[in-house]
């Protein structure tokens, strides 16, 4: 299967066979992450340079001032393929959702405990 990636890459990196995509992941990960990250143009780093690997870009990502962006780059910099990267993102989303739920519960409990009763208790 041949896929058109639409990442603005030159030559045969733009069109790839699915079977050969995994080894190239580290070559295009920086561009994919930067392009896909909301408001990446507001980060305090320049976009990935032509031919810049995720290894080099992950170092620069530390200067972006955005912990989530840094996480995405550092995870992509591991020796993994796209399937493992997506698995790690899914796991992180689950972890974030679990913490979010607990924060909402704690907020409700705190609100309930500090609420002044409408009728004085006698």
Q: Model confidence at 3, in pLDDT bands (50, 70, 90)?
A: very low
Q: What is the DSSP letter of 44?
A: S
Measure the CA–CA gap between 23 and 76, rounded to whole angstroms. Answer: 13
Q: Which residues partner with 4 through β-bridges?
A: 15
What span, in angstroms and rounded, lies between the C-alpha atoms of 30 and 56? 9
Q: Is residue 61 a contact partner of residue 74, using CB atoms and an 8 Å limit?
A: yes
Residue 73 is given by DSSP the state: H
DSSP state of 52: -
Residue 15: what pLDDT?
A: 45
User: Is the whole model's pTM more than 0.75, yes or no?
Assistant: no
Identify the burial level of 16 via C-beta atoms within 10 angstroms of its C-beta, where 0-12 means exposed, 13-18 middle and 19 or more buried: middle
29, two tokens:
């990960």
Mean pLDDT of 51-75: 94
User: What's the whole-number average pLDDT of the chain?
Assistant: 84
Is the per-residue pLDDT at 28 higher than 80? Answer: yes
Q: Which residues contact 55 (CB under 8 A, 6 or more apart)?
A: 26, 77
């Amino acid at each position: 299967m041949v896929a058109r990636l639409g990442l603005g890459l030159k030559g045969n990196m733009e069109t790839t066979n699915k079977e050969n995509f995994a080894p190239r992941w580290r070559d295009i990960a920086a561009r994919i992450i930067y392009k896909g990250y909301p408001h990446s143009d507001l980060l305090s780093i320049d976009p990935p340079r032509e031919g810049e690997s995720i290894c080099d870009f992950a170092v620069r990502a530390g200067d972006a001032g955005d912990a989530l962006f840094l996480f995405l780059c550092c995870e992509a910099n591991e020796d993994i393929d796209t399937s493992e990267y997506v698995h790690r993102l899914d796991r992180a989303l689950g972890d974030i959702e679990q913490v979010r739920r607990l924060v909402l519960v704690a907020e409700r409990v705190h609100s309930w405990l500090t609420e002044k009763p409408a009728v004085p208790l006698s």
